[in-house]
Amino acid sequence: MHIPDGFIPLWQTGIYYIITIIALYFALNWAKENLDEKRVPLMAVLAAFIFAIQAMNIPIPWGTSGHMLGAALVAIVFGSPWAAVLVLAVVLTVQGFFFGDGGITALGANILDMGVIAGFTGFGVFKALQKLNLWVAIFLAGWASIFVASLAVAIELALAGTFPYDLGLIFMGLYHAIIGIAEGAITVVAILAIQRVRPDLLHWNKTKSDSEVDK
């Protein structure tokens, strides 16, 4: 759902840039306080994984395809949506500048949708449902993150006069409700894999493992 150049008028892209820069300020502050020696490599591996998996478009019906975003994954692993903002900002900037995926003028909007909105939605759903069932919460966090982000894109493009409101919300929502199943499933698999090889890297194991392993 990378918005290309020309879909949003420049003055509106400026507003999205400003919101994104404010979010990045908070995300960098979070990183400053919370990243330790072993979480920098974890974050970098997740950035590499998300870059690669975003190139893996999965077919869905109606001659359409989609890929996961990864924001919910990062937010859950790090226990903070700010981590997702940072990782997606890096991935989307590399995609925009090196591969022409997502317009440079739309980069602020793309980070806002796929980093900030997807990250906070995924993290919120995870937190709300975590106590009911951990893995169901992770799956639904992944699903909701991309679904809500796609609705945000539809609203931005409607404000831009590029999509009609109703059809934009219907098509974007419908496509991404289906892509969300893949997002949820891959999020679960990735966290299961980390839980298996390095449970101490998962935020919800942090206090326990830090006393055992690090100190």
Residues 87-106 that bind another protein (CB under 8 A): 87, 90-91, 93-101, 103-105
Per rule CB under 8 A, is residue 17 in the interface with another protein?
no
C-alpha–C-alpha distance, residues 83 and 39, integer Å: 11
How many residues in total does the chain contain?
A: 215
By CB under 8 A, name the one of 85, 151, 153, 191 that touches another protein: 153
User: Is residue 28 close enough to count as binding another protein by CB under 8 A?
Assistant: yes
Cβ 131 to another protein shortest distance, Å:
29
Of 127-146, binders to another protein (CB under 8 A) are none
- Round to whole Å and give the CA distance between 75 and 80: 5
Q: Between residues 82 and 120, which has the closer beta carbon with respect to another protein?
A: 82
What span, in angstroms and rounded, lies between the C-alpha atoms of 68 and 52?
10
Find the binder of another protein among 12, 66, 142, 144 (CB under 8 A): 66
* Residue 207 CB, nearest approach to another protein (Å): 19
Residues touching another protein, count (CB under 8 A): 74
Name the DSSP class of 215: -
Q: Does 171 bind another protein (CB under 8 A)?
A: yes
Is residue 40 near another protein by the rule CB under 8 A?
yes
Distance of CA 27 to the CA centre of its chain: 14
DSSP string, 9-52: -HHHHHHHHHHHHHHHHHHHHHHHHH--TTHHHHHHHHHHHHHH
- Closer CB to another protein, residue 70 or residue 137? 70
179: left (phi over 0), alpha (psi -120 to 50) or beta: alpha
Which positions from 192 through 211 interact with another protein, judged by CB under 8 A? 197-198, 201
Classify 79 in phi/psi space as left (phi over 0), alpha (psi -120 to 50) or beta.
left
- What CA–CA distance (Å, rounded) separates 149 from 131? 24
57 contacts another protein (rule: CB under 8 A) = yes
What's the CA gap between 193 and 69, in Å, rounded?
18
The reply to whether 162 sits near another protein by the rule CB under 8 A is: yes
By beta-carbon proximity to another protein, the closer residue of 68 and 137 is: 68
Under the criterion CB under 8 A, does residue 52 sit at the interface with another protein? yes
Q: Which is nearer to another protein, 127 or 173 (CB)?
A: 173
The residue among 104 and 129 lying less far from another protein, judged by its C-beta, is: 104
